[in-house]
Structure 1
Amino acid sequence: MVARIAIFVPSLRGGGAERVMVTLANGFAERGHRVDLVLVQAEGPYLPEVCSAVRIVNLNKGRVLATLVPLARYLRRERPHAMLSALNHANIIAILARKVSGAPTRMVVSEHNSLTSLQETRAGRRMLRLMRRFYPLADGVVAVSRAMAAELHEQLDIPLDRISAIPNPVDIDAIRAQARSVPDHPWLKSDQPPVILAVGRLEPQKDYPTLLEAFARVRKNNDARLVILGEGSLRAELEERIHHLELQDVVDMPGFQPNPFGWMGACSVYVLSSRYEGLPTSLVQAMACGAKIVSTDCPTGPAEILEDGKWGRLVPVGDANALSHAIAESLQSKPLAVTERAQHFSASRAIDQYLDILTAC
């Protein structure tokens, strides 16, 4: 069955969920489906990665809430067989737009972060109430990990038979090919000390202050360097902390990098220090590049990816001492066959699972 599929996402500004949506859009198109990538604003570094077979529909609005009417008009006019949306605020607008449009479009929403992130603020708790009200109106809900699927069931009262746990698609072959392009950075030369790498937005979720504190402890007994790839609102605060810890000569934050995989392939240890995740695709990407892994055992995803520590070290969230010990031990340990585990998260498998849900009658 060839289907008309719409994918609704705010933008392609560099978040993990946005990259997943691009991978899915390209994968659906490669399988012969007609795909519209519907964006609140057609901007972001992932835009050039969208293949020519995918039609970009730019709603050209400044915020997600303003797209309710334009999105409803799109659904009424184009009448796609199914629409997949990502990120909770966009999911709610997508559900409402389908209702307003009266279109028979099958609606599937996807959730990419643990609900833990929403329980900490008044706005987050308000969002949880909205999700509890509207998510049951969708025809299907996708969680990116089994633990997150359990959260959606328990906290939003969504029946388990309406939730599908599908890991984020990872193009293993493409990542390995890009990993061979080692960046021209002096720290990545073969005669340099080991590099510890983290990739992700400079936001509270990633808990880089704990990583910096852990790295300062690692430095007491190890000649190593730390690179953090990504941009975000905490750059100034993190730079100040780096200076306070006297790490300015051994920590580099070169910003967002379109090809982080060359860094992953060249690093000695890849670290995820997050307070919460959904299913952190960067862990799988780093494993596809053969990197040794250290991660917090945060909700949700790392324990699932690493099979409770079989493929890398898991430490408690926010524990700089445990994180420093795990990094130091990894620097001295032998590599594991993590590329084998990465194959479990291949893009082909995830794309097929999404299509089964989207093209269901």
Structure 2
Amino acid sequence: MDILLVISKFLPEYTGAAYRIDKLYQSLGESFSVSVLCGGIEHKSAATYTHRVLKVERLHDRSSGEKNRWLRLFYYYWDFLAARHALARRKFDVLHIAGTSAQTCAALYHASRHNTPTLLELVTAGAHPLQPLPLLGKICRPSLPDRTVLVAISEPLATRCANYGFKNICWSRPNPVDEERFQPQPAMKAELRQKLFPFGETDVVITMIAKFMPQKNQIFLLEVLTRLPGNFKLALGGPVARSGPLASRDASYFENLTSQIKSRGLENRVFIKQEFIENPQEWMQASDIYALPNRDEGLATPLLEAQACGLRIIANAQEDAFHCWVAQNETGHLLPLDPDLWSGAIKQSLDIPPAKLQERADHIRTRCGMERTTRIYRDILTYLASQGPNQTLEEVLNAHS
């Protein structure tokens, strides 16, 4: 089966969606032949390259990250037409679309015109199941092909699909968790902490792994830390954009973060690793609490991974997607972004019994395990490419219930 993945940006430019989809196709194996068409924000120039075994064509992306509203609109249509031309040159059985950009919009219009079987993933809080063209969306809106499956990574996104009349073709699923890597390791905790962090065995370590950018809101955790006793420590890991239109914004944000650490006298209580974290499960297994002060999230995968590792969760209550996956007042707390409330909840969370954290870890690993998710994807892709008798998405999903 030949699959074309059209995604707003792809590795080596990091996005959670690209990282997960790459892992998915690694798990699916050689029975699926996959190529990639993408744009980019950090990497905007046109390029053709190979990632692992995937052939990737990155189109010149003029619109993503453009700050001037009218220039962004002009470039959006330019990029849209360039993507339509690139799509017309290719042959494939299934179109897999993820993200929101001129390139993904073009892919959806292409699928609509040619009735191409389509797997469309909604991966951000503001994602739209139809991705209409700016200004022309009401008079030139795409229709979904006869064989389409929408993938919503949170219940709020699934509700949005249902409101557009797409409930019967929507699979609501959490981001998959690698159950082999992400699991509680209490016997290894002290050893991992000594290996990874400059913190002691009796310290309480709060961890957050995310790209350093305003949306992730790591700076808020400094306010929280100042309200906690000295044995509470903070570990922050993730990359900072080095190029592209958002690089200066993110560099300024990171500089502000490090400046506030110094001005608040937190140098000995905050550990920062400014790069992509290759071993997030070890960071989590070495920690006590996972914090998510994020804003505007579709669904932060570490929310699930941290629970699979047996961590307590403290998260932003204003994010609807978090409500679906935090066991409120049992193994975690959802709170507004008030540092006094957060510091109190962090101290209170230490009373959660280890047995309850283990129970939650088992539930997450069973419900969100990568093995189960991969099997469902395999069946959905086979269903989309099938030319046989009609089958419903419900029947496909029921086979895995």
**Structure 1 residue 14, shift from structure 2 partner:** 2.6
What's the counterpart of residue 5 of structure 1?
3
Q: Which residue of 2 aligns with 1:19?
A: 19
Following superposition, the deviation at residue 6 of structure 1 comes to 2.2
Letter in 1 for 2:35: D
- Taking the TM superposition and a 5 Å limit, the aligned residue runs for 1:200-215 are 200-215=210-225
Distance, in Å, in 1 between the alignment partners of 2:326 and 2:91 is 41
Which residue matches 2:393?
none
Task: Give the secondary-structure state (helix, strand or coil) at the position aligned to 2:4.
Answer: strand
CA contact (8 A) 1:72 1:98 kept: no
Task: Please give the alpha-carbon distance, in whole angstroms, between the structure 1 residues aligned to 2:138 and 2:287.
Answer: 39
Q: 1:85 aligns with which of 77, 97, 104?
A: 97
Shift of 1:178: 11
The one-letter code of the counterpart of 2:295 is R
| 2:123 paired residue number | 112
Contact between 1:71 and 1:94, CA under 8 Å: does it hold in 2?
Answer: yes
2:273 & 2:153 partners in 1: Cα distance? 29
Residue type of the alignment partner of 1:174: R
Structure possessing the higher radius of gyration over alpha carbons: 2
Render the CA deviation track for 1:55-82: whole Å, top value 9, x for unaligned: 2223353456566456445544442211
1:342 aligned partner, one-letter code: I
| Alignment of 1:174 onto 2:181 | yes
Higher mean C-alpha displacement, 294-303 vs 194-203 = 294-303
Deviations 1:293-321 (A, max 9, x none): 222223332221124444322222x2222
Structure-2 residue corresponding to 1:121: none
1:301 to 321, 340, 350: 321
Residue identity opposite 1:354 in structure 2: Y
Kept in 1: contact 2:154–2:172 (CA 8 A)? yes
The letter of the residue matching 2:257 is L
2:376 aligned with 1:353, yes or no? yes
Superposition map of 1:274-353 within 5 A = 274-316=294-336, 318-335=337-354, 336-337=357-358, 338-343=360-365, 344-353=367-376
One-letter code of the match for 1:353? I
Structure 1: distance between partners of 2:267 and 2:318? 28
What does 1:41-190 align with in structure 2 at a 5 Å threshold? 52=52, 54-59=53-58, 61-63=60-62, 68=80, 71-72=83-84, 75-89=87-101, 90-98=103-111, 105-115=116-126, 134=141, 136-137=143-144, 139-154=148-163, 157-176=164-183, 182=192, 184-188=195-199, 190=201
- Report deviation, 1:346: 0.8
Tell me the secondary structure at the aligned position of residue 174 of structure 1. coil
SS in 1 for 2:198: helix
Counterpart AA for 1:289: C
Is this contact kept in 1: 2:313–2:333, CA < 8 A? yes
Q: Name the counterpart of 1:223.
A: 231
Change (3 A) 1:169 1:303: same
Residue identity opposite 2:122 in structure 1: E
Q: Confirm or deny: 8 A CA contact 1:110 1:143 kept in the other structure.
A: yes
Contact 1:75-1:105 at 8 Å conserved across structures: no
Higher mean alpha-carbon deviation, 336-345 vs 62-71, is at 62-71
Change (3 A) 1:194 1:307: closer
Aligned residues: 338
Q: How far 1:271 sits from its partner (Å)?
A: 1.0
Aligned equivalents of 1:15, 1:84: Cα separation in 2: 16
Describe the superposition over 1:212-258 as per-residue Cα deviations: whole angstroms up to 9, x where unpaired. 2112111xx35121011123402012122222322222112211222
- TM-superposed CA distance for 1:146, in Å, is 1.5
Aligned residues of 2:105 and 2:133 also touching (Cα < 8 A)? no
Residue matched to 2:35:
36
**Letter of the 2:125 counterpart:** S
- Describe the SS at the equivalent of 1:182: helix
Which structure 1 residue ranges, 5 or more long, are not aligned? 45-49, 119-124
Give the direction of change, closer, same or farther, for the CA distance of 1:158–1:187 in structure 2 (3 Å limit): farther
What is the CA RMSD across the aligned residues, in angstroms?
3.6
SS of residue in 1 equivalent to 2:181: helix
One-letter amino acid of the structure 2 residue matched with residue 223 of structure 1: N
Task: Give the secondary-structure state (helix, strand or coil) at the position aligned to 1:151.
Answer: helix
Matched, 1:259 2:279: yes
* Map of 2:263 onto structure 1: 244
The Cα of 1:106 is off from its aligned counterpart by 1.7
Task: Return the offset for 1:20.
Answer: 1.6
TM-score scaled by structure 1?
A: 0.79
Q: Is the 1:59–1:70 contact (alpha carbons within 8 Å) kept by the matching residues of 2?
A: no
When normalised by structure 2's length, the TM-score is 0.72
Is the Cα–Cα contact under 8 Å of residues 228 and 254 in structure 1 kept in the other structure? yes
Does the CA-based 8 Å contact 1:295-1:313 persist in structure 2? yes
The CA distance in 2 between the partners of 1:297 and 1:61, in whole Å, is 38
CA contact (8 A) 1:92 1:131 kept: no
Q: In 1, are the aligned partners of 2:308 and 2:364 still within 8 Å (CA)?
A: yes
Residues 96 and 119 in structure 2, CA contact (< 8 A), matched pair in contact too: yes
Q: Which SS does the other structure have where 2:320 is aligned?
A: coil
